[in-house]
Every structure is written in C-alpha cells, then in structure tokens.
C-alpha cells in the first residue's frame, strides 16, 4: 500500500514537472489555479487547514520540481548515449539515476510526516487520491486540446 501511494505521488510530480516545461506561464498559472481548487474541494480542507497545508504543499512541489528537473537532465543524457561509453560510465549514470529516485521517495516521506502534522490522516490519503484524479483530468484535457488543435489545422 505504501509503495502504491508513493508511485501515485511520483507520477503526479512528473506531470507537474512536464507541465512546467511545455506550457506558457499563463497556462501554468491556470493549471495551478485549477489544481488548488480541485485539491481543496477533494480533500475537504477547512480554511484553517488550508492555511497550514498550502505552504507545506507548495514547498514540497518546489523541492520535487528540482529533483524532477535533475532527473529529466539525466534522462536527456541517456537519450544521447555516446557510442563507446564504458561500463564504468554506464554504472555511474545508473547509480545517479537511482539516487534521484531515492531522493524523491525520501522527500515524499519527509513531507508526508509534515502533512500528517497539519491534517488528519484521512485528508492526507484524500490528497494522494485527489492528486491522481487531477493528473488524470489534466492529461485528458491536454489530449483533447491537442486533438482539437489537429482538427483545426486539418480544416
């Protein structure tokens, strides 16, 4: 169960990181606004809880973005593997990639404890579920907008 929650959270962070790379600032702001409203509603945050929750969540998001950015950089290096790389070079790259996954997991565990200090456990679990729902909704909207864009271009 703990692993499933961790995987869901990791997926959500990767969607957020992807959005930050592929959208203009206005679109990013709209996504962020939707996410805040969606999570607040899904979790059922009171105004007192929201006041304590959002600073922690925003810091988590910021830290997670830094890790995801480094992971994307590493993955970019892997896409352009140089012929003749040695086993030692591949090993170093593999260790660094695994290290980033580990850092991300530790970050989530750390912030899970912080969230449990300001919210009831039920609402923390609802947060994780809501993040998954938001990610699915966002991806659906993104795919639809891409499809609509293609239809307009073919007309």
Site of tokens 């973005």: 65
Region class of 79: left (phi > 0), else alpha (psi between -120 and 50), else beta: alpha
Q: How many domains are there within the chain?
A: 1
Residue 129 lies in domain = 2-154
| Amino acid 76: pLDDT | 81
Q: Which of 6-20, 67-81, 123-137 has the highest mean pLDDT?
A: 123-137
Q: How far apart are CA 130 and CA 127, in angstroms?
A: 5
pLDDT in tens, 90-136: 898 889 989 999 999 999 999 999 999 999 999 999 999 999 999 99
| Amino acid 15: pLDDT | 47
Q: What is the mean pLDDT of residues 47-74?
A: 93
> Taking Cα atoms as reference points, which of 23, 20, 21, 34 lies closest to residue 145?
23
Residue 26 vs residue 4, higher pLDDT: 26
């Amino acid at each position: 169960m703990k692993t499933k929650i961790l995987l869901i959270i990791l997926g959500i962070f990767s969607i957020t990181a992807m959005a930050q790379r592929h959208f203009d600032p206005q679109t990013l702001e709209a996504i962020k606004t939707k996410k805040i409203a969606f999570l607040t509603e899904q979790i059922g945050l009171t105004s007192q809880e929201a006041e304590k929750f959002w600073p922690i969540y925003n810091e988590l998001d910021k830290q997670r973005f830094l890790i995801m950015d480094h992971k994307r950089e590493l993955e970019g290096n892997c896409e352009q593997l140089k012929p003749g790389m040695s086993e030692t070079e591949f090993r170093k790259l593999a260790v660094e990639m695994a290290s980033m996954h580990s850092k991300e997991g530790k970050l989530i565990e750390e912030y899970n404890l912080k969230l449990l200090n300001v919210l009831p456990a039920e609402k923390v679990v609802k947060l994780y579920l809501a993040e998954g729902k938001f990610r699915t909704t966002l991806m659906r909207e993104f795919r639809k907008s891409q499809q609509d864009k293609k239809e307009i271009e073919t007309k």
